[in-house]
Structure 1
Amino acid sequence: MMKTGVTITIRLKSQRLPRKVILPISGRPMVEHLIERLKTARLPDTIVLCTSTNPQDDELIPYAERTGISYFRGDEDDVLKRLLDAALRDGLDFIVSTTGDNPLTDPGYIDKTIERYKETDADYIYCPDLPFGTFSYGIKVDALRKVVGMKKERDTEIWGHYFKDSGQFHVEKLEPEECLRRPDIRLTVDEPVDYDLMKKIVFYYLLPGLKQVIGLLDEDPSLAEMNKGVVQRQAEVKEVLVEEDDQDS
C-alpha cells in the first residue's frame, strides 16, 4: 500500500533573521503554527520534522514531540539526502516537501499534490504560481533516490532544478485556482519585515485560509507593501544532472 508523508526541512542557522522558525507569533512558535496547519491536510499519512544532527538543532525536537509528529535528524548540508533518509526510514513512497520558514503553506495544495501523484505517478510536482511561501513540492522517493545517487554537490539547500531541468523525470505542474494565482504576494519569512507581516496576518486569522490572506492583503494594501522591497535570494545552480553513461564523457 502506498504511503505518503509531509516533510518539514528546518534548521536554526538562519543569519538574516536568527532562530526565525521558533520566533513567537500570537503566543506560539512559528513552527507550531506550520505544524498545526499541515495537520489539516487530509491525505498525508505522516508529518516528519527533518532537521540536522548539528547540536544547535537539538532545540527543535521538543516541538515535534509536543505537537505529536515524528522527527528525523540527518545530513547537515545535504538536504536531499536528509529527506531521502527520512523517507526510507518511514517507508514512504512519496513526500511533499515543506520548509519551516513558510508557516502559511497551503494544506489544500498538499492534498492536490498527492492526488496528482496518484493520478500520474509523477516524479516531481510543483505549483509555482501561488503566493511565494505557500506552495510545496511533491517528490517520488524513487526519483529522489536517483538524484541523490547521481548528484555531485553536497550542499543541496536549493534542489528543484535537479528534477525540473535534467529532462530525466516526469514533471507535473499544478495550476492553482485563478483567485489564488498571486505570485506577487510574498508570504515566506526570511527578513524582519516578513516576520512583522506574518504577525499581523495571524493577529487577524489564527489559521487563515489562503483566500482569507489574499483578501486581507488586497483590502489593506499597506500590509502587502511591508515586504515588497525584499529581494528573494537566488542560489547559483552549480550542477545539472547527466545520465550515468555520460558522466565520464
Structure 2
Amino acid sequence: MRIAAIVQARMGSTRLPGKVLRPLGGVPVIQWIYERLSKCRNLDQIVVATGESAADDEFAETLKRLGIPVFRGSEHDVLDRYYRAARAIRADAVVRITGDCPLIDPAVVDAVVARFNEGQPELRYVSNINPPTYPDGLDVEVFTIEALYQAWRQSEWASEREHVTPYMRNRPDLFPQDHIRCEKDYSHYRWTLDEERDWSFLTALVSLASDKGWEPREVSFPEWLSLIESHSDLTGRNEGILRNEGEMKSLAADRKVK
C-alpha cells in the first residue's frame, strides 16, 4: 500500500496571512513540517497541496525552490484538492496534515499509520483526534483512497468540502474507523499556528530549545513536553483560543453547495 502525506497549506489564512512562510527559528514553517514528516518511517511520499489562486503563486515557487513537491488545486474546496492530489500521486491511502502544525511529530504520525496498517483491509479511517488527547498541532488522520473518493463524490455541505474529513468522521457505519490516544491527556496544550499569540508561543519555545543546544527541528514530542512543563509560563501566551475554531465557524455558517 502506497501511503502519502498531503499537507494542505496556502498563503491566504484569514487570521494569520502568510503563516506558512514565516521563518520559525530562521526556517519557513512549511519547511519545518516537510522536514519533520520526512523522518516518518511509514510514509512513501509527502506533497504540499495549495491553491490555484495568484496569491499562492509565490508560495508554490518557494516550495519548488525548497525541493518540496507541490500540487495546486481548488482554493476553497479543499476536499477536491485532496482527492485530485491523491490521484495525481497514485496514493492508496492519505495522511492528512495541515500547514499550521510546525511541531508535527514523526513518531506520532507513524503510530497512527501503524494502527491503520494493522487494521487493513477493514479500517478506512484512523486518527488521533477522536477524542483529542494530543496537543493541538499534532493532529493526524489517515484514510483510504476509496474513502476519500466516496467523501469527494457525496459531501454536499461547505463545511465538509472545506475540512476534508467530516463526512468520513461522522459516518463510522460507512467508514470503519479506529483512534489512538496518548497515555495522558495533553489536549489542553496548543501547539498550532493560527493567531499572533500562537506565533509568540512557538517562537519562545523554539528559542528555549536552541538555548539548550537542541536542534529545534529535531526535537521530539516528549522533549517539547519536558521543555514546556519546566517553563509553565509559556502556555499563557496562547491560552483561551478554541480548538478547531475554524471548523466550528464553518458549521455555524454551513450551506449546501452541491
TM-score with structure 2 setting the length: 0.86
Give the drift of 1:236: 4.2
CA distance in 2, matches of 1:162, 1:100: 21
8 A Cα contact 2:4 2:45, kept in partner: yes
Aligned residue type for 2:162 = E
Aligned residue type for 1:14 = S
CA distance in 1, matches of 2:220, 2:61: 27
Give the drift of 1:209: 0.9
8 A Cα contact 2:36 2:106, kept in partner: yes
Structure-to-structure mapping, 1:99-118, within 5 angstroms: 99-118=98-117
8 A Cα contact 1:77 1:154, kept in partner: no
Are residues 236 and 61 of structure 1, via their aligned partners in 2, closer, same or farther at CA, if it must alter by over 3 Å?
A: closer
1:125 corresponds to 2:126: yes
8 A Cα contact 1:4 1:92, kept in partner: yes
Candidates 175, 185, 205, aligned match of 1:169 = 175
Corresponding residue for residue 42 of structure 1: 41
3-state DSSP class of the match of 1:235?
helix
CA distance in 1, matches of 2:222, 2:62: 28
Aligned-pair identity (%): 28
1:231 corresponds to 2:229: no
Task: Could you tell me which runs of 5 or more consecutive residues in structure 1 were left unpaired when the two chains were aligned.
Answer: 241-249
Give the drift of 1:88: 0.6
Q: Cα deviations across residues 84-120 of structure 1 (Å, max 9, x unaligned)?
A: 1111111100111101111111211211222222211
CA distance in 2, matches of 1:18, 1:75: 18
Corresponding residue for residue 21 of structure 2: 22
Corresponding residue for residue 147 of structure 2: 143
Moved more, 41-50 or 146-155: 146-155
Task: Could you tell me which runs of 5 or more consecutive residues in structure 2 were left unpaired when the two chains were aligned.
Answer: 210-215
Aligned residues: 237
3-state DSSP class of the match of 1:81?
helix
Corresponding residue for residue 89 of structure 1: 88
Corresponding residue for residue 247 of structure 1: none
Candidates 169, 172, 190, aligned match of 2:194 = 190
Aligned residue type for 1:231 = L
8 A Cα contact 1:41 1:110, kept in partner: yes
8 A Cα contact 2:51 2:73, kept in partner: yes
Corresponding residue for residue 66 of structure 1: 65
CA distance in 2, matches of 1:68, 1:47: 11
CA distance in 1, matches of 2:139, 2:46: 16
Aligned residue type for 1:185 = Y
CA distance in 1, matches of 2:197, 2:158: 31
Give the drift of 1:154: 4.8
8 A Cα contact 1:5 1:45, kept in partner: yes
Aligned-residue CA RMSD in angstroms? 1.7
8 A Cα contact 1:106 1:135, kept in partner: no
